[in-house]
């Protein structure tokens, strides 16, 4: 199922092979829209390493029960041409630089959680701001 111009549902499915609940799919659709805005801005593909995780899979990999992945609101991503620090800087700039709206349509752009790891970024659409 195509979610946006460049993202499909299978990229976000749980690695255990379980069925994605309908409410989670709705969140994944919203997340994919936000990732599409980033992709359009950087002009580079975004690889989704991990999207939705059911509670069992999330627990098996050692993540906590409050993970946004369980809700379908988070993804761990890489952009080949950028380091995780560069991706985080780009996203922060997109969130705060009003001049960008004239360059690319980012109305409604919202990223709540943004994490920097050694080889990837965590990006989520929670309501509140969280950085790590």
Query: What's the CATH number where 50 sits?
Result: 3.30.1380.10
Q: What is the pLDDT of residues 6-45, one digit of tens each?
A: 999 999 999 999 999 999 999 999 999 999 999 999 999 9
Structural domain boundaries, residue 42: 9-131
Classify residue 1: in a domain, yes or no: no
59 within a domain of the structure (yes/no): yes
108: tokens are 């409604």
Share of the chain above pLDDT 70, in %: 92
pTM of the model: 0.92
- The total number of structural domains that make up the chain: 1
77-88 pLDDT, tens digit per residue, is 999 999 999 999
Let me know if residue 3 belongs to a domain.
no
| CA pair distance 122, 50, nearest whole angstrom | 9
State the first-to-last Cα distance of the chain, in angstroms, to the nearest integer. Answer: 32
């Amino acid at each position: 199922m195509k979610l946006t111009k460049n993202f499909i549902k299978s990229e976000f499915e749980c690695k255990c092979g379980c069925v994605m609940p309908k409410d989670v799919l709705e969140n994944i659709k919203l997340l994919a829209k936000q990732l599409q805005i980033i992709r359009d801005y950087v002009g580079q593909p975004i690889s989704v390493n991990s999207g939705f995780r059911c509670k069992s899979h999330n627990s098996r990999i050692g993540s906590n029960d409050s993970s946004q992945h369980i809700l379908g609101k988070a993804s761990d991503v890489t952009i080949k041409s950028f380091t995780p620090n560069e991706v985080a800087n780009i996203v922060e700039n997109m969130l705060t630089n009003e001049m960008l709206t004239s360059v690319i349509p980012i109305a409604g752009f919202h990223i709540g959680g943004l994490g920097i790891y050694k080889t990837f970024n965590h990006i989520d659409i929670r309501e509140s701001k969280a950085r790590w």
